[in-house]
Amino acid sequence: MEPLREIRAHARELAFVLKVLPRLPSAPIDRLTRRPVVERVRYPSRDREIEADLYRPPGRGRHPAIVLCLGVVPFGVEHPQVARLSDALGRAGFVALIHWSDTMRDLRLAPEDADDIALAYDWMLERDDVDPSRSGLFGTCVGGTFALLAASRPLIRDRVTFVGAFAPFSSMWTFARDIASHSWDDRGTVRPWEVDQITEKVFSRTVDAFLTTEEARPLREACDREQADRALGSLPAAARARLDAMSPMTYLHDIHAPSIVFGHDRDDHVIPVSESRALALALAGREGVRYTEYAMFKHADPKDLAVLPLAREVLRFYGSLYPMFRISA
């Protein structure tokens, strides 16, 4: 059965990669796979029911499921790439639900969002067409951070078989220091960082939500990493606890998923690659962990590359995601 499993896994992933990357030919996948069924569903969050589109393979049977969080996105939920991603997952055999956070759509971060992702996943596993033993979570950007946080929640942590993240931050402490100081740590060398506008805006709105003007002033006025560290260390206890609650590094021992896959582009302009490198270092030696660095995506936005570099990066991308597809098969 093992060779058949490998064939199924590669067939699923090939369908996904060809569909989700815009520069690759996807017409053959459209002809060889069946169009997913789009179902309007309602699922619970902490304070209300959420209505969303769920993509699932047609026909009967139980399928692997995936809950995605795309984080803070500069485009709307109706963007064609969102539908392309959902369609790709459905054609690859997944029951797929994209969870949209109201807080993130308001350009803010809140630790409670991880609880909502966990509730969405718990709801998904109760569906008759879902196989819980082959299901998991995935997120991009800050959504990847919150997918990792959700995987640590007691409600679901023993039922998540894989968790994946693309360009997450590992600690709100180090990420906040980088933003405040406009610098990042490249393996011991501090480099200047022109912080992306969306990063600046989300950080500012997040800080404003739980700090007074006076409490936030030292952080806003920090000019270097030392001043940023002092400003962070002087925050009230409740604020420090909130930073901990948005830091996957705090909860790595609570993530029980057999497979953890994550990657980051070395030229990411929204979240420094140092964040994923720190996560990889903390998880070093743990079975089932795969970390990959890319030179293709910037921040989930593929670059125009010549044919050979593109082929090399697509193969790297394919290999980085393979553990999830192997489990799903």
The mean pLDDT value for 209-216 works out to 94
Cβ neighbourhood burial of 203 (10 Å; 0-12, 13-18, 19+)? buried
Token representation of residue 266? 């070395």
Predicted pLDDT of residue 77 = 64
CA distance 62 to 73: 31
CA distance 296 to 264: 10
Cβ neighbourhood burial of 152 (10 Å; 0-12, 13-18, 19+)? buried
Residue 226 identity (one-letter amino acid)? E
Q: How sure is the predictor about 59, in pLDDT bands with cuts at 50, 70 and 90? A: confident
Contact yes or no for 134/327 (Cβ under 8 A): yes
Residues 6+ apart with CB under 8 A from 33: 15, 91
CA distance 119 to 156: 8
The mean pLDDT value for 269-279 works out to 96
Residue 33 φ then ψ, to 5°: -120, 160
Cβ neighbourhood burial of 295 (10 Å; 0-12, 13-18, 19+)? middle
Contact yes or no for 283/289 (Cβ under 8 A): yes
pLDDT over 90, % of the chain: 83
Token representation of residue 56? 């699932």
User: Among positive and negative, which fits the CA dihedral 282, 284, 286, 289?
Assistant: positive
Residues 6+ apart with CB under 8 A from 34: 57, 58, 59, 91
The mean pLDDT value for 214-237 works out to 95
* Euclidean distance between the first and the last CA atom of the chain, given in angstroms as a whole number: 11
User: Among positive and negative, which fits the CA dihedral 298, 301, 304, 309?
Assistant: positive
Residue 291 identity (one-letter amino acid)? Y
Per DSSP, which regions of 231-278 are E strands? 259-265
- pLDDT tens digits, one per residue of 68-124: 999 997 666 666 778 889 999 999 999 999 999 999 999 999 999 999 999 999 999
Sheet with 95-98, strands from edge to edge, namely: 37-44, 49-56, 95-98, 65-69, 136-140, 162-166, 259-265, 289-294
- pLDDT tens digits, one per residue of 133-177: 999 999 999 999 999 999 999 999 999 999 999 999 999 999 999
